[in-house]
Structure 1
Amino acid sequence: MAKVLMKGNEAIGAAAIKAGCKYFFGYPITPQSELPEYMARELPKIGGIFLQAESEIAAINMVYGAAGAGVRVMTSSSSPGISLKQEGISYIAGAELPCLIVNIMRGGPGLGSIQPSQTDYFQATRGGGNGDYRLVVLAPANVQELVDLIIEGFDIADQYRNPVMILGDGMIGQMMEPVEFKEPKQRELPEKDWATTGTGGNRKPNIINSLYLAPEELEEHNVKLQAKYKTIKENEVKVESYNIEDADVVIAAYGTTSRIARTAISQLEKEGYKVGLIRPITLWPYPYSEFDKINPNCKGILTVEMNTGQMIDDVKIAVKGKYPVYFYGRTGGMVPTPNEIIEKVKEVYGGEK
């Protein structure tokens, strides 16, 4: 299949439709507004429904209803809009409903700016709503991977009856790159016999709910959820690593920031430095075990993010105190440059190659 040059936000829409999504509920906010615009134009052509809700809160509850009916459904927003959806996301996770949620991050806190950022890592991986729940969080680094993870994300959601979040930043939503819409690896997906599709007089009505007034029942439900999350941890970790077995310094970075780190590593290698990279693709479940493969004589791990230091907590958990962990970040919509990363790596080296 030929490649097509597409903007990231529009590629999300095209990938979602290829994955069988026919329903989109959302509310406009930059820097992801091209996505709902694309869906508003394209979904009616395939008999689907686009609806611009009156608010982000309304949109996520519409997603709850559509997911409960067993259809493939998605929503998208950017940082403060995702914050408004958090109650509904907790309800969806509690009711075990599959859906796809896209967050194209902008600077914060509050309204912040429309510039790219990675300041929603805590919100996505630690849960912005109430209760013991988890989202599968996927962090693409380019538009092709964005397309691939959108398609696979719907399958993951259906397989585990769990919401999946695509966590990108303003750059990946706005950049244009060539993409190919490949056929995904086929999963054996369960029947949606839990969906509220009408009984036809042949079965008892399905009830979808996240309310358990008896503490014993709620505890049983939470134990069941934790067992599911354990299975996800065992099966769905995705990570890319480069030269970590031989590196004197390893950079940990995700999303588009990892691409900047790659450029820095290429330059450092020309100067004789041995630098590796660990790029988590799933931010949850996090690829902790990948850090066990690092050169035991490594001088340190440098976490690079577009925030003031959020993934660094997971990196510290992963290294188990074996190596010092350093951080370099830009925030507020500022993007780290390769030269800034190079300078920080050389600091970690301490002057010795």
Structure 2
Amino acid sequence: MKAAVFYGKGDIRYEEREVKEPGFKEVMIHVKAAGICGTDMHIYEGAKGATECQPPVVLGHEFAGEVCKVGEGVTRVKPGDMVTVDPSLMCEACDPCRNGTPHFCEHYEATGVNYDGGFAEYCTVLEKQVYCLPEDTSYEEAAMCEPVGCCVHGIRLADIKMGDTVLVIGAGPIGCIMLQLARLAGAGTVIVSEPMESKRKMALQLGADYVVNPLDGAPEDALKELNVGKIHVAIECVGRPETMLDAIRLAGQGGMVLLFGLTEPDCEIPVKPFELFSKELTIRASYVNPYSHGKAADLIAKKKIRLKELISDRYELKDIGKAFSQKQRNGKCIIIP
């Protein structure tokens, strides 16, 4: 098969790779669409992802396709099924796994990071990793199930109450998923802060009540002009120090701050404890997608969330080098093997 193999920082090669035949309780998938995640970019640029990557390996942990072959012991799926893949692999034996927090597994690994993933024509995974979707779902939507699952986990942690005012910082694909989930979670008002005009327009199309440009003066001045009252929940979806500090500063008294955007591992922010104390803020972070992939698949299957509009770039597998070197995107980049 053809595959895009990651060999190290800035080095991804389109080449022949042997197809892995499915073993016991394994499923071979003909990959139809795979998304490039911010984590993929971090790994490509030499940083660590959710777990340590050991090249050479086929990246791609956001993908979907058609089951083409199954191994012995597989009972839940069959050839021809459309499936999305949860890349997370837990040992199920360590203390975190046995105490309800498997995403903190002491031996956590992931398809597309530690094992060959979706930037290839075929990928073989465990049956327990796959979730079926109805035929009227596009493969591109199915490939976005993993980031939706991560956002579902984040929204759960954000603890949005019915009628809350929610500020989403950043209107990239993650921010636009978050604003839709915030609405589904009961938010009364959703505001999106985003400097790019095209992304602000997209946020409005996807259900944001208001959009603000953080480069047009202080964001707090723009929020005052909207007269929306205090921000109950601020969700940061950019992963930059300045936007994380904005989330802390703009959250209202008793507010919740969810730091969702992925930063560089050594990133630091200068938090003022008195500000946290005086506003009695709760600050949380969100890590991967425990018990969330199935919920994401259900939301996508039932058309509760719009994803097609978030896809801005599509590349054939042979052009994956161009996709990784692209400096600016307006949305999600999908690789079509």
Which TM-score band applies after superposition, normalised by the shorter structure?
Answer: under 0.3
Structure with greater strand share of residues: 2
TM value normalised by structure 1: 0.25
Structure with greater helix share of residues: 1
TM value normalised by structure 2: 0.26
